[in-house]
């Protein structure tokens, strides 16, 4: 059981490391692609990869289970990414970065309401949340002044809430007993289906010749195969093993990974504020996880 738990934590950490670096690939692609085009291409690629890896069909899916897959696709693939991308057009990336870190709090509340298996929330979860949020604030507003933008910030809050809904739905799906690759592929299918109408609203263009540029091709492959196909499988595996709440607290690490990546790849300067923020975010994660039978344990 201990090995299984360790594998769950490693899967969550691996996922968050990849997700924390996707902003660089997205930034590169945004010079010639619209946000909705990047989204569509990466998830279609992710779906195709999962189909090639495991072409089997899921058999005996009940109507109620199917509805759970539909809602997971709507929340985790379509709405979350669309809300986040639209939020970025209204408000600063730093605001979105902090607000998305609220997702574990929403997950905890929803799990208390809808998941009996997740156990009781302890005080350490909320203390960890407060410490991690302080860290995220320090990292995101390092050297810049806080500027609130009601529309963009509200959309980011909605994105965090929608991700929490996805986490709860994923936990529910894990109880169906199907292989994780198949359940992730089915979720992708519904997500792409819901995304299709949005393509017309945002002037989607196919223009595949853009991928003749090796930089664009490698970055979309990183997003499609790594951040989508592989990472949604590893995240869903972590949720299956650890539970929705304990997995979601790894989201506190996203600002940290963004800082580290910015320093290593974009050669941005290290400041004592970002170091303090990083330490607080990591401390918040450990506080929330402290005591195996605590926050959101699925035991």
Q: What is the pLDDT of residue 293?
A: 42
Q: Which of 165, 173, 224, 168 is nearest to 58 (CA)?
A: 173
- From first to last of its 299 residues, the chain has per-residue pLDDT tens of 678 999 999 999 999 999 988 888 888 898 999 989 999 999 999 999 999 999 999 988 999 999 999 999 999 999 999 998 888 888 877 778 788 889 999 999 899 888 876 767 788 899 999 999 998 888 877 766 667 788 889 999 999 999 999 999 999 999 999 999 999 999 999 999 999 998 988 889 999 999 999 999 999 999 999 999 999 999 999 999 999 999 999 999 988 888 888 788 877 777 888 889 889 999 999 898 775 443 333 32
Joined together, the tokens standing for residue 239 give 């949720």
DSSP per residue, 171-202: HHHHTT---HHHHHHHHHHHHHHHHHHHHHHT
Q: What is the pLDDT of residue 146?
A: 63
Annotated domain spans of the chain: 2-115+147-244
Main-chain phi, psi angles of 286, to 5 degrees = -65, -35
Q: What is the pLDDT of residue 91?
A: 81
DSSP per residue, 248-272: HGGGGGHHHHHHHHHHHTS-PPP-H
Q: What is the pLDDT of residue 219?
A: 96
Q: DSSP state, 241?
A: H
DSSP per residue, 12-24: HHHHHHHHHHHHH
Q: What is the pLDDT of residue 1?
A: 66
What is the C-alpha separation between 112 and 289, in angstroms, rounded?
17
In contact, 232 and 43? CB cutoff 8 Å: no
Q: What is the pLDDT of residue 23?
A: 82
Buried/exposed code over 33-48 (b: 16+ C-beta within 10 A; e: otherwise): bbbbbbbbbbbebbbe
Q: What is the pLDDT of residue 289?
A: 78
In contact, 88 and 152? CB cutoff 8 Å: yes
Q: What is the pLDDT of residue 43?
A: 97
**What ranges in the chain are assigned the alpha helix state H?**
2-29, 35-53, 63-72, 80-90, 93-100, 103-114, 123-140, 150-174, 180-201, 214-221, 231-242, 244-248, 254-264, 272-289
**Sequence-distant (≥ 6) Cβ neighbours of residue 68 within 8 angstroms:** 169, 172, 173, 176
Q: What is the pLDDT of residue 143?
A: 63
Q: pLDDT, tens digit, for every residue of 264-298?
A: 887 777 788 888 988 999 999 989 877 544 333 33
Q: Which of 101, 70, 120, 88 is nearest to 163 (CA)?
A: 101
Q: What is the pLDDT of residue 62?
A: 94
Q: pLDDT, tens digit, for every residue of 163-191?
A: 999 999 999 999 999 999 999 999 999 99
Q: Which of 6, 5, 15, 7 is nearest to 167 (CA)?
A: 15
């Amino acid at each position: 059981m201990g090995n299984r738990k360790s594998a769950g934590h490693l899967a969550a950490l691996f996922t968050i490391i990849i997700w924390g670096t996707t902003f660089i690939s997205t930034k590169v692609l945004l010079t010639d692609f619209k946000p909705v085009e990047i989204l569509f291409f990466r998830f279609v690629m992710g779906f195709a990869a999962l189909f090639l890896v495991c072409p089997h069909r899921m058999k005996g899916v009940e109507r109620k289970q199917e509805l759970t897959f539909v809602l997971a696709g709507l929340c985790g693939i379509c709405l979350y990414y669309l809300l986040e991308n639209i939020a970025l057009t209204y408000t600063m990336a730093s605001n979105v970065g902090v607000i998305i870190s609220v997702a574990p709090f929403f997950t905890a509340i929803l799990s208390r309401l809808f998941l009996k298996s997740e156990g009781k929330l302890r005080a350490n979860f909320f203390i960890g949340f407060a410490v991690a949020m302080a860290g995220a604030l320090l990292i995101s507003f390092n050297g810049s002044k806080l500027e609130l933008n009601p529309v963009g910030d509200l959309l980011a809050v909605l994105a965090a809430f929608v991700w929490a809904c996805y986490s709860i739905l994923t936990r529910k799906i894990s109880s169906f007993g199907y292989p994780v690759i198949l359940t992730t592929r089915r979720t992708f299918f519904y997500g792409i289906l819901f995304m299709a109408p949005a393509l017309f609203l945002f002037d989607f263009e196919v223009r595949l010749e853009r991928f003749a540029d090796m930089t664009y091709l490698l970055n979309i492959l990183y997003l499609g195969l790594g951040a989508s196909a592989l990472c949604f499988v590893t995240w869903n595996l972590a949720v299956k093993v650890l539970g929705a709440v304990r997995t979601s607290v790894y989201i506190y690490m996203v600002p940290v990974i963004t800082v580290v990546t910015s320093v290593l790849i974009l050669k941005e300067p290290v400041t004592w504020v970002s170091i303090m923020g990083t330490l607080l975010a990591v401390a918040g994660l450990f506080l929330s996880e402290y005591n195996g039978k605590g926050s959101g344990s699925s035991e």
